[in-house]
Amino acid sequence: MTETVLKWHGHACFDVTTAGSKIIIDPFLTGNPKADIKKEDVKADIVLVTHAHSDHLGDAVEIALKNDATLVTMVELGWTLQEKHSDLKVHAINYSGTVRIGKISITAVNALHTSSLDGQYAGNPMGLVFGDKFKIYHAGDTGVFGDMELIRDLYHPEVSLLPIGGYYTMHVKEATLAASLLKSKYTIPMHYNTFDAIKSDPNLFKSEVEKTGNSTVIIAEVGKEIRFDESGKRLD
């Protein structure tokens, strides 16, 4: 049976091995005080970027070029990166757009945030739902919004990765509501405690979500594997 393996590398960066592909999302490693790996260490087939802010775009271009990997992001940011790096393989998609790479489908969904590169508008931000049979939702930087129910109804993610740090994104209260809208089997908090401005308590988030009975919260440890089988059952 095919396993899906997630690792958190601090902030909003995860690597995921699933359906024969190695995926890294929002690889902010250089300058990330919580990161346990360096960009040179990353092996990836697919690089996913939710928006252009430096703590999400991070080392994505260097990783993609080094690994001859395909970078998937929002259309305007994708075009900009391709103009700057002619050798970069890019899929520049838009909301509800889906691309398939190998066995992995990647769909862009809404996110309530902003996006800029070098002080200039860089298209809209997005969340991403990706995987084969086992689907993961990476919310990117976002506030809570009612159409998270549509993400649940359309894509049925088994795991939702939600920011809880506040200030730039949802805090615990809003992220708890988001988890209730999504009703994923598992929810993993992210984008917290990297810097003083986004301090948050993942144990409080776990307690509040699990009071609702809508999801089981996994508090990831940086660099530690979280494993699931194809049916969505956690193996650890």
Helices 172-182 & 148-155 angle (0-180, nearest 10): 30
Please indicate, yes or no, if residue 96 is contained in any of the structural domains. Answer: yes
Tell me what pLDDT residue 231 has.
83
Across all residues in the chain, what is the average pLDDT?
97
- CA within 13 Å, CB half, 89: 13
Mean pLDDT of 150-165: 98
Is 50 within the bounds of a domain? yes
Region 16-23: mean pLDDT is: 97
CA-based R_g, the chain, Å: 16
DSSP-derived secondary structure letter, 141? S
Predicted confidence band at 217 (pLDDT cuts at 50, 70, 90)? very high
Instruction: Give the separation between CA 7 and CA 25, rounded to whole angstroms.
Output: 11
129 CB-side CA count, 13 A = 24
Identify the burial level of 71 via C-beta atoms within 10 angstroms of its C-beta, where 0-12 means exposed, 13-18 middle and 19 or more buried. buried
> Looking at residue 141, which CATH number applies to its domain?
3.60.15.10
Quickly tell me which residue has 């990330």 as its tokens: 32
Q: What is the pTM of this model?
A: 0.98
Q: What values do phi and psi take at 172, rounded to 5?
A: -60, -45
Whole-number pLDDT of residue 1: 59
pLDDT tens across 45-80, in order?
A: 999 999 999 999 999 999 999 999 999 999 999 999
pLDDT at 218: 98
Is residue 212 assigned to a domain? yes
- Closest by Cα among 30, 70, 21 to 49: 70
**Residue 233 domain flag:** no
Mean pLDDT within 73-94: 97
Give 205's pLDDT tier (boundaries 50, 70, 90): very high
pLDDT at 2: 81
> 88: Cβ–Cβ under 8 A, 6 or more apart, which residues?
61, 64, 65, 71, 81, 82
**How far is Cα 73 from Cα 52, in angstroms, rounded to an integer?**
9
Question: What are the two backbone dihedrals, phi and then psi, of residue 117, each rounded to the nearest 5 degrees?
Answer: -130, 120
22-49, pLDDT tens digit by residue? 999 999 999 999 999 999 999 999 999 9
Position 211 confidence tier, pLDDT thresholds 50, 70, 90: very high
Q: CA 59, CA 42: separation in Å to the nearest integer?
A: 10
pLDDT of 230 over the 90 cut: no
Distance CA 193, CA 12 (A): 11
User: Has residue 236 been placed in a domain?
Assistant: no
Give the number of domains in the chain: 1
Q: Is residue 15 domain-resident?
A: yes
Specify if 13 maps to a domain. yes
Distance between start and end Cα atoms, the chain? 15
> What range defines the domain where residue 37 resides?
4-228
β-sheet bridge partners, residue 216? 186
For residue 149, is it within any domain? Answer: yes
